Amino acid sequence: MINSDTPDILKEIVEVKKERLDVRKKDLPIASLEGLIPERKRPLNFSGCLMGESVRIIAEVKRGSPSKGIFSKDIKTAELAKIYAENGAAAVSILTNEDFFYGSIDDLLEGHNTIYELGVPVLRKEFIFDPYQIYEARAYGADAILLIVSMLDKSQLVDFKNLATSLWMQCLVEVHDEGELELALESDAEIIGINNRNLRTFDTTLETTEILAPQVPNERIVVSESGISSRGDVERVVEAGAGAVLIGESLVTSDDPGFALRNFL
């Protein structure tokens, strides 16, 4: 179960996803997923790829979103992931949610197969509330997964993080406010994602990163997410303490995603 005070949009996404997951578990039981894992190569070092003197960019493959609708259903995951990897992305985030972001778990495997040899890790961007999804992420090539604090209580967050670690994956632990940041830090999250979008109002402001990033200890990695549409925005969140940014919409809506990506670096 997710938290009762979880934003309504997340509750709606989870309710729909639960129905899909029930079917998925019957079609591909968890034992079958575990059987697929040895076929995958060892995950890449997601956190290591986010470290460095200059800002690191997680470039996102997404066909749309609940707040903005469809960007393009014709996006080819392998093609776009390769463009990102060849134009400076430190990692690639792949939306696998079907009903609200028009992705699929097969997109994850396709991305993994395309850019693993280039040394660029893939993040499974999904609304994770069931351990099955974590095994599924590993079986389909994820190097890291997203955990959203507003959906999980502390014990779930720790359990899911430990399960991911046991499968050699890392976690981007996403927060939206100071209370969630406190829970993320208490869980010993190494990578803190600060979402600049308020999931109750859908308003986006970089002030969220400016408020929260200075509260994150220096040894943790801060990723600023959402609302980043220019090099100036990147510089602003880096000044606040972010070492990496996650950019999706500005790239997938560009006529030349590779050129757009380079302009953020």
Q: Which residues are catalytic?
A: 60, 62, 125, 174, 195, 225-226
- Residue 7 — left, alpha, or beta (φ > 0 → left; ψ -120 to 50 → alpha)? beta
Question: CA-CA distance, 53 to 153, in Å (whole number)?
Answer: 34
Helix ranges restricted to H, 37-104: 46-49, 77-86, 98-101
Three-class DSSP category at 236: helix
Sign (positive/negative) of CA torsion 246, 227, 10, 20? negative
Q: 77 and 141 in contact (C-beta within 8 Å)?
A: no
Radius of gyration of the chain (CA): 17
Question: CA-CA distance, 119 to 151, in Å (whole number)?
Answer: 31
Quick one: CA torsion of 188, 137, 224, 17, rounded to 10 degrees?
-110
Question: CA-CA distance, 15 to 22, in Å (whole number)?
Answer: 11
Q: 260 and 251 in contact (C-beta within 8 Å)?
A: yes
